[in-house]
Structure formats: C-alpha cells, structure tokens
Amino acid sequence: MLALVIAGVCFYSIHATRQLFDVGVNAHTGCAIHSDSANPLPQSDLADSVAKKVTAADPSAQLVTKGICSTGGRDYTEVVIQHGTYRTSIALTARAESEVFPRALAGKEIDSVHFGDRRGYAVGAFEQGQWLGYIVSNMPDDQLENFSSRLVPLVRRSIPQ
C-alpha cells in the first residue's frame, strides 16, 4: 500500500511540474521565438521595469522586445533578450490558485527556482505571490541555472505585490 502511495505522489509531482513548465515554454514558443523589433509586443509597465533591471545587470543581454503577449489562452508579460546565440524569455503570468509547484520528487530546485527541461528548452520557474515566473531558453541547463540565479531576484523585485 505504501508503494502505491509513493508511486502516486511521484506521478503527480512529475505531471504537475511538467504542466507548469509547459506554461513557460508556451510563452517562449508563442511570444519570444517570433518577436523582434519589427514585430513589437504591446507596451507594459511591468515589462519595462523587468527589461531595465535585466539589461542594467547584464550588459551582454540585448533586448529583443518587451510587452504583453497572449498565447495558448493566457496573457503574459514578456521580456525577450538575446544572450549570445541564445534567445531567452523572461515571462510572467497570473497564477491560478491550483498552480503550485509540488515540493517533492519533481526536478531540481535551487533557491525556490525549479529547473528542468521541457520540449527541448531549459526552464527555470518560480512562484511569486499571484504570479508564475519563467526563464526559458535554448541555452544549456547549467548556463540557465547560473543566468537565472542572477535574474530571478531582479524579476521578483519588479513584480507588484
């Protein structure tokens, strides 16, 4: 019986984490991949704030676009940067009450940021109040973890309480 309970918790944790990672990957593939200065996103004060903090903290990050994007039935505040050959999304979206990262058996977690791979992208994801935050890129996992450790605190300070 205990084995069934453990198996159920493992299945739920992995499934829920994958679903939450998909939210961030959807923002990246639906908003960032096709965005550039020729196709700008609608303006957003939150995106402006995040973009200013990120580009000030990392001068090698080139701003591609920032603003509001809707894809897959969700609205995102999106900041897209080019970091060398890597296009990276910093995406924020409203969090439903049921959208909470499982705390057990579901991927790597460093400083309340969940890391994993989904559909060919490295994903860093976090919760901040009523928001889900994502950093999604085609960069290798270890680079995304390092990059996220610098970016997530900046993004968190930009989020309204």
> What does the mean pLDDT of the chain come to?
83
**In terms of residue numbers, what domain contains 80?**
2-158
pLDDT at 116: 86
Q: What is the pLDDT confidence band of residue 155, given thresholds at 50, 70 and 90? A: very high
For residue range 30-74, list pLDDT tens digits in order. 887 766 666 678 899 999 999 999 999 988 889 988 999 988 889
pLDDT at 83: 85
DSSP state of 60: T
* 137 or 110, which is more confident: 137
For residue range 3-27, list pLDDT tens digits in order. 555 555 555 556 566 777 888 888 8
* 33 or 152, which is more confident: 152
Does the pLDDT of residue 126 top 80, yes or no?
A: yes
Could you tell me the strand order of the sheet in which 121-128 lies? 62-71, 74-83, 86-94, 131-137, 121-128, 113-118, 108-110
Q: Can you tell me the mean pLDDT for 74-100? A: 91
| Share above pLDDT 70 across residues of the chain, in percent, rounded to a whole number | 81
Q: How many domains does the chain have?
A: 1
CATH number at residue 87: 3.40.1000.20
| Share above pLDDT 90 across residues of the chain, in percent, rounded to a whole number | 40
Q: Read off φ and ψ for residue 132, nearest 5 degrees.
A: -110, 135
- Rounded to whole angstroms, how far apart are CA atoms 8 and 85? 40
